Amino acid sequence: MNKRVFSGARPTARQHIGNLLGAIHNYVDLQKEFDECIYCIVDVHALTTLQDTGKLQANIQDLTLDWLAAGLDPEKSIIFVQSHVPEVMELHTLLGMVTPLSWLLRVPTFKEKAKLHPENVNYGLVGYPVLMTADIVLYKAEVVPVGEDQLPHLELAREIARRFNNIFGETFPEPVARLTSFPSIPGLDGKGKMSKEVETSVIEIAHTEEETKSRIMNAVTDPERKYRKDPGHPEVCSIYALHKFFTESQVAELEGQCRTAGIGCVDCKKLLVESLNADLRPLRLKRAELAGKPDYVRQVLANGADRARVIARQTIKEVKQKMGLA
């Protein structure tokens, strides 16, 4: 399909299997469906909440390795770092001139983040949706893969693009959401979703098989199953949820065994360690191989930025002309 896709990820931590089963597999599939996919490591966005910027470069390297190992193809897709194409900052400023402040203040994630970090309600947090809009429309992307929770952000991006077009003439396509139902992967800590905010809740793509084993063997299971003889409730257990993805062929049997105490949690976990490690082994080997070629990874990002910049410069030129700046 001859449409341009854009998506970005913040380099705030290494990617975990929740990211892999959701966003990253989806990115790989979109490469088959669309002629041009742009995948951006949005490092400037990371600055709004990242406390320790000393880790930023390592995080960028890790995210690139995770993506490439999982199957993002730099020959086909444009893979680059947001700040390597500084035109996005210029467009952010210019779009800021047509974005009413009231639109930004009503964004639910702004309110949540302001509540979470009252000591640091910076402009970057308020302007986040404008920078996000600049990310998308700078490349005149028409399709943006999003989960349901991201829809309000994309709607705002569409409104900003529409307002610019109304004032200065047709310039940007209004990006359309490609709604993707990401599987919700429960965290190993037994408290909600697998999330990079809670380190022990995740299994990272880059973990070794031993680290994976340790995380799984220490995971919280059904809190009501105190003894081996107690029947379990697989629907509340993160181990069972992961078996659905990694031990698919035995999942019905495991469910029955759990409910009748036919299997203990230790054996159930050991089985998951084997199936999950076996599934991720090729990807992890590829990742390790790429990690040994830092020049190659740097080159991928440099080529991606070069290709992105060609599109970005054309857009900025057009925008400046329309706004009377050139």
Q: How far is the CB of 243 from ligand SF4 (least distance, A)?
A: 7
Cα 156 from Cα 198, distance rounded (Å): 29
Number of residues that bind ligand SF4 (CB under 6 A): 13
Which part of the chain contacts ligand SF4 (CB under 6 A), choosing from 123-131, 141-149, 166-174, 220-228? 220-228
DSSP 11: -
Cα 203 from Cα 39, distance rounded (Å): 23
* Number of neighbours of residue 286 by Cβ within 10 angstroms: 15
Task: Let me know if 244 is a catalytic residue.
Answer: no
Cα 104 from Cα 110, distance rounded (Å): 8
The DSSP secondary structure of 88-132, one letter per residue, reads: HHHHHHHHHTTS-HHHHHT-HHHHHHHHH-GGG--HHHHHHHHHH
Pick from 56, 48, 44, 54: nearest CA to 12:
56
217 near ligand SF4 (CB under 6 A):
no
Q: How far is the CB of 131 from ligand SF4 (least distance, A)?
A: 42
Candidate residues 78, 265, 273, 305; the one interacting with ligand SF4 per rule CB under 6 A: 265
Catalytic residue among 113, 140, 213, 269: 113
Cα 230 from Cα 264, distance rounded (Å): 9
Which residue's CB is nearer to ligand SF4, number 159 or number 255? 255
* Distances, alpha carbon 220 to alpha carbons 38, 199, 204, 226, in Å: 38, 14, 17, 11
Catalytic residue among 3, 55, 196, 320: 196
Q: How far is the CB of 291 from ligand SF4 (least distance, A)?
A: 32
221 near ligand SF4 (CB under 6 A):
yes
The DSSP secondary structure of 295-319, one letter per residue, reads: HHHHHHHHHHHHHHHHHHHHHHHHH
Would you call 137 exposed, middle or buried from its count of C-beta atoms within 10 A (0-12, 13-18, 19+)? buried
What is the x/- site pattern for ligand SF4, positions 230-259, by CB under 6 A?
--x-x--x-xx-----------------x-
225 near ligand SF4 (CB under 6 A):
yes
Cα 162 from Cα 46, distance rounded (Å): 27
Which residue's CB is nearer to ligand SF4, number 268 or number 301? 268
Cα 24 from Cα 66, distance rounded (Å): 9
Catalytic residue among 76, 111, 191, 193: 193
Task: Let me know if 113 is a catalytic residue.
Answer: yes
185 near ligand SF4 (CB under 6 A):
no
Which part of the chain contacts ligand SF4 (CB under 6 A), choosing from 28-36, 154-162, 176-184, 217-225? 217-225
Task: Let me know if 76 is a catalytic residue.
Answer: no
Which residue's CB is nearer to ligand SF4, number 233 or number 322? 233
Which residue's CB is nearer to ligand SF4, number 142 or number 222? 222
275 near ligand SF4 (CB under 6 A):
no
| Pair 38, 175: CB distance under 8 Å | no
Q: How far is the CB of 103 from ligand SF4 (least distance, A)?
A: 45
Residues of this chain that interact with ligand SF4 (CB under 6 A) are 221-222, 225, 232, 234, 237, 239-240, 258, 263, 265, 268-269
Q: Active-site residue numbers?
A: 113, 193, 196
